[in-house]
Structure formats: C-alpha cells, structure tokens
Amino acid sequence: MLLNCGQSMPLLRHTDVPSRVKENFILTGYRFPNYSVKDCLLSAFRPTNETGNFWTHFLPVFIFAYYFVEVFGWEGAPHADSPFFYPLWNYFIGVFCLLMASSMAHLLNSMSLVVREVCFFVDYGTISSYTVGSSLAYYYYIHPRAGIVETGGNNGSQTDLKEEPAGSLSYAIPDFCVFFENFYIPSACLVAIICVLSCCNTRQRWRRHRYLIRTFVFLLPFLVSSTPIFYRLLTRSPYSTTSSSFAASTSTAGFFCRHCFWLLVSAVFNISKIPERLAPGRFDIWGHSHQWFHCCTFLSILDELHLIKAEVKAILLSPTLLLPPATLAPLPGPTITSTYGVMLLLQTTIISVIVWFSWHANCIFGPERDKLAKEHPREHLKCH
C-alpha cells in the first residue's frame, strides 16, 4: 500500500518493506531501500518515520557549537589553538561526529540494505569516539591533579592543600592514583573499542535484545570516563572555598546529575519503545521513542559541556592552578600526541572494525539487495 504519493518517492507500510527495515511498532512512513542520495536528502523535508530522527540530531549540532565557542571569549582564556584547549577540541570533534553521523545514518540508510548497515556501524563508531573525547576533557580539566603546578615549596592556601611539600601532592583516595595516572585513558579507549564491536554485532546476531544490549553496553564507557567526576564528588575540591575558582566549580555536581538524569531517561525510551508500543501506528512520523531518545541524549551532552566549561573556567580563574605544561607539573599537559594522536589511533581502529563488519554485511545482504533491485526497479516505484 502506497502512502503520500506525489512527485517524490512513495512511502510505504511495514508490510511493503523488507523485514530488515522494519522497526517495532512503527507501521507507516517507510522508505523503500533503493533511494538515491538525492532522494534521501530530499526526504529530510518529507514526513517519513526517519525525518524526526534526522532533525533531532542535526539541529543540535548548531546549538552545541553556539555554547562551545563561548569559552574562547572568556577573559584570560588563551588562544583557541593553544595546547590548553587541545582536550576541549577533541571533545568537540567527538560530539560533532556523533551528531552528524547519527543524523546522516537516519537520512541515508534507505539507499540499500548494505548501506543501511554501514550507516549504523559508523553511528556506533562515533558514539564510542565521543566517549574518549569526553575522557580526554575530563582527564585534563577534572582530573584530581589537573592544573596543580608545583612551585618549589608549597601551593599555599590558594589550593587549600595545607602546605604539602612539592612532589607530595597526594590523592584523597590513594588507590585511585595508579588508575588515574596510567590506565584511565587506555581504559577509555579499550572500552570504546569493545562497545563498537558489541553494537555492530547486534546488527548481525542477538537481534531480539539488540536495544537492551546497545543501551547497557554504553553504560560501561560512562562509568569509566566519569571516574574523575565521581572522585571529585567524593573528595574535597582542589580550590580554596573563598576563591573564585571554587565558586565556578560548584556547579559541576548539578550539571553531572542532570547529565546522568538525561542519560537515564534516554535509556528508558530506547529500551521501552514508549509511546509507540502503547499505540502502534499513532507515533510513526512524530513523537516516537527514538526521537525522544535523541533529544534526551543531546540534553545530556549539553549538560556535560556546561560541566566541562565550569571546570575550565575554574582553572582559568586560579593564578596557581594552571593547566600544564609548566615547571615540575605533576600531570603532563596536553600535547598533540596525547590528544589528537589518541583520537587518531582510536579512529583508525574503529574504522578497521567498521570496514570488517561492512564487508560481512555485504556478504549477507548483498544478494538480497540485488534481488530487491530487480524486483522493485526505481522507475516503477515513482508516483505519477
């Protein structure tokens, strides 16, 4: 049964498309998987069941960029290309790629069954990259010793370290020292690779519980990357309670709680498939769970950005808490290798994973794609 026939490619019911394309409780608004790139791009302005999925992650790109660039206009902030901002730029790259890959995956996935698989493999890969971008920002701006510069004697009351001698700056929870200093970033990268492997696998096996698996798989990188924040919440602030840096960083806990709240709500939408589960067919175009999932994940990212900005401002406001490199800094400062280099290595690994799964998907769905192309030539699907 054809819907919305006009000058555009027709939209279909769930009974008229391959089973691979069907979504639970979504009955109409489907595009047949033989669209051209032009057809896909034009479908962003048509009421399909993917239109909202596209816009709910495409428009947030501009909202995120608006709040992001605010940092560079702050008083005392170094130039945007300063090493100080390397971790922040890596975070931006992670978020930008996540939002763009997600929106494009929903827009372009109707080109073929194979392209559909590749689109979502890339989507999962950028989610994993984003988690490492967050970890780099956390490591350099929220790390327990981020920015603490030894000045040859003590850091004095400015950092409220109670005259600890140089070289003896200690952790309130000493057991975390080895993890933070040596394993935090490698662990974030390893977990990111495990996540993309697991999520890509859910498109070829474990299909029945794929949404549950994908949701809980990404709980692990959240727990790993958020370790510096958990540490900060469980221990004292590195700033004097009378300093402007302390005032700037007090909002961190609130932003983190909101970040967690939106992640939790997004997980509920992704697993439950509410509201379309309650009224199949009623939320096919607007208001179905994946659109709410997108909105909630972006709100969580936005609160995370505000959290990171609060800690960046706290460091910039303190005359003695300057992000290394600096003389005798206990925490190595950001370099091209330790930030962009880490992301490049991770991206190379993730791309290799995506290529392998894409090849496998082509072996599985290539014959079906060719069969569908013969049975449903595009000129026969057009409306006149």
Q: What is the pLDDT along the chain (384 residues), one digit of tens a residue?
A: 444 444 567 899 999 999 889 999 999 999 988 899 999 999 999 999 999 999 999 999 999 999 999 999 998 889 999 999 999 999 999 999 999 999 999 999 999 999 999 999 999 999 999 999 999 999 988 865 554 433 333 333 333 333 333 333 445 556 677 778 789 999 999 999 999 999 999 988 877 778 788 888 888 899 999 998 988 888 877 777 887 888 888 899 999 999 999 999 999 999 999 999 999 999 999 999 999 999 999 999 999 999 999 999 988 887 555 444 444 445 567 899 999 999 999 999 999 999 999 999 999 887 776 676 666 665 444 443
For residues 248 and 314, the answer to whether their CB atoms sit within 8 Å is yes
Handedness of CA 254, 259, 260, 264 (dihedral sign): positive
Amino acid 373: pLDDT: 66
Amino acid 369: pLDDT: 67
pTM of the prediction? 0.86
Q: Does 294 count as an annotated binding residue?
A: yes
Longest dimension (CA), the chain: 82
CATH architecture of 37-148+175-316+335-375: Up-down Bundle (1.20)
Amino acid 249: pLDDT: 87
What is the Cα–Cα distance from 381 to 376, expressed in whole angstroms?
Answer: 7
Report residue 231 CA to chain centroid gap.
22
Amino acid 215: pLDDT: 83
Amino acid 22: pLDDT: 92
Looking at the chain, list the stretches that DSSP marks H as alpha helix, in order from N- to C-terminal side: 37-42, 51-68, 86-108, 113-141, 176-178, 184-201, 210-217, 219-225, 227-234, 244-249, 252-272, 289-317, 342-375, 378-381
Looking at 145-226, list the stretches that DSSP marks H as alpha helix, in order from N- to C-terminal side: 176-178, 184-201, 210-217, 219-225
What is the Cα–Cα distance from 108 to 116, expressed in whole angstroms?
Answer: 7
Q: CB atoms < 10 A from the CB of 183, how many?
A: 12
For residues 231 and 205, the answer to whether their CB atoms sit within 8 Å is no
Distances in Å between the Cα of 54 and the Cα atoms of 110, 287, 302 are 13, 13, 18
Amino acid 132: pLDDT: 97
Distances in Å between the Cα of 205 and the Cα atoms of 104, 114, 116, 198 are 24, 16, 16, 10
Element (H, E) at 2: strand 2-3
Q: Does 384 count as an annotated binding residue?
A: no
DSSP state of 56: H
